[in-house]
Structure 1
Amino acid sequence: MVDKLIAEINTITDFSKEDITLFIEALEEKTIPKGEHFLKEGQISTRFGYLTSGLMMYYKIIEGNEVPSDFALEHDWVVSLKSYTTGSASDMNIKALEDTRLFTLSNIKMDELLAIQPKFMALRSYYTELSFIRISRQTYNLTTLDAKQRYYKFMTDYPELIKRVPQYHIAAYLGIKPQSLSRIRK
């Protein structure tokens, strides 16, 4: 399971075997059952999580409904960047939509890694940029595409989510009513 993560981080920058060993030793393996949270609104995000299996959803509660802002699949990282970076309370929730296994890296361990090997800053920068790109893409899609175009774009960009995420979550993510999504799908 850790092999995919090692291969991925080695594409970001060239780490030595010692660096990789330090990184792996800093990780903690966790399992989050379906429906349980990695992070709840109001908590401070103090760790990153790298999914090895499962599915998670970023969401906010709006008028009593869970409104997704993003999803994370295998080989994605999860964190509330705003909370993690500023040390403030999270304004979102992250929960497992399936039983999920992940490696976590606490901010304390990350700071220790950075003190030993500054190259680890490349990882943090890379994943922060990826998160920004995903958020920007979703914002662009919501503001410039109509409902049908948003759904087709979602199907193209995330085909695996169509089968794994409940349709009402997909509809909310796309900013449409579930009935409208049903019509579009027909």
Structure 2
Amino acid sequence: MLDKLITEINTIASFSKEDTNLFIESLEENTILKGEHFLKEGQISNRFGYLSSGLMMYYKIIDGNEIPSDFALEQDWVVSLKSFTTGAASDMNIKALEDTRVFTLSSSKMEVLLTIQPKFMALRSYYTELSFIRISRQTYNLTTLDAKQRYYKFMTDYPELIKRVPQYHIAAYLGIKPQSLSRIRK
């Protein structure tokens, strides 16, 4: 169930069995049903979650429309990094597009882990850097690629999302109208 997570964190920093157990024991298991929110705009992000199954979408409401900024699949982490780091209200929403099983770690439990074993800071740094890279990649794609190139890049980078995310969300994520996406797909 969490075997992939344990393997992943041990490739980032070699943790002892005790440290790994401490980390796993700090997680809480939750189920978020399709359409329910992990985080709503205006809330403070005081936890982050590891998806063991399911799919989530980061988005903002602009002119009454949900505009996705990212998606999270199995083995991804979800958090409003800006809110989690600063303690300010989140400027985005995160909701489940499918029934999702998520293991959460609260900010207070993270602080305890960092106090007990400073090596856990390596995890925090690693996942923060991954988040920055994903955001940078999406910004680059939106500013330098045309609609057709963005769609082909999306298909290459996230082939599993093509089948799981509604086309109107994919179109909004790519910064194009659904009709344009239909033409590109033909």
Deviations 1:145-169 (A, max 9, x none): 0000000000000000000000000
SS of residue paired to 2:149: helix
Unpaired runs of 5+ in structure 2? none
1:183: which partner in 2? 183
Aligned mates of 2:3, 2:177 — CA distance in 1:
41
**Counterpart secondary structure, 2:67:** strand
* Structure 1: gaps (5+ residues): none
Amino acid at match of 2:124: R
1:40-81: per-residue Cα shift (whole Å, max 9, x none)?
A: 000000001000000000000000000000000000000000
Alignment correspondent of 2:141: 141
Write the distance in 1 (CA, Å) between the matches of 2:152 and 2:129: 25
TM superposition score normalised by structure 2: 1.00
Q: Equivalences for 1:18-167 in 2 at 5 Å?
A: 18-167=18-167
- TM-score norm. by structure 1 comes to 1.00
Residue identity opposite 1:49 in structure 2: G
User: Secondary structure of 1:152's match?
Assistant: helix
Residue 19 of structure 1 and its aligned partner are, at CA, apart by 0.3
Q: Distance in 2 between matches of 1:159 and 1:49?
A: 23
**Identity rate, percent:** 88
> How many matched pairs?
186
**2: CA distance between counterparts of 1:18 and 1:180?**
53
Shift of 1:4: 1.0
RMSD over aligned Cα atoms? 0.3
Note the C-alpha offset of 1:30: 0.3
Runs of 4+ with >3 A deviation: none
Task: Look up the SS of the partner of 1:119 in the other structure.
Answer: helix
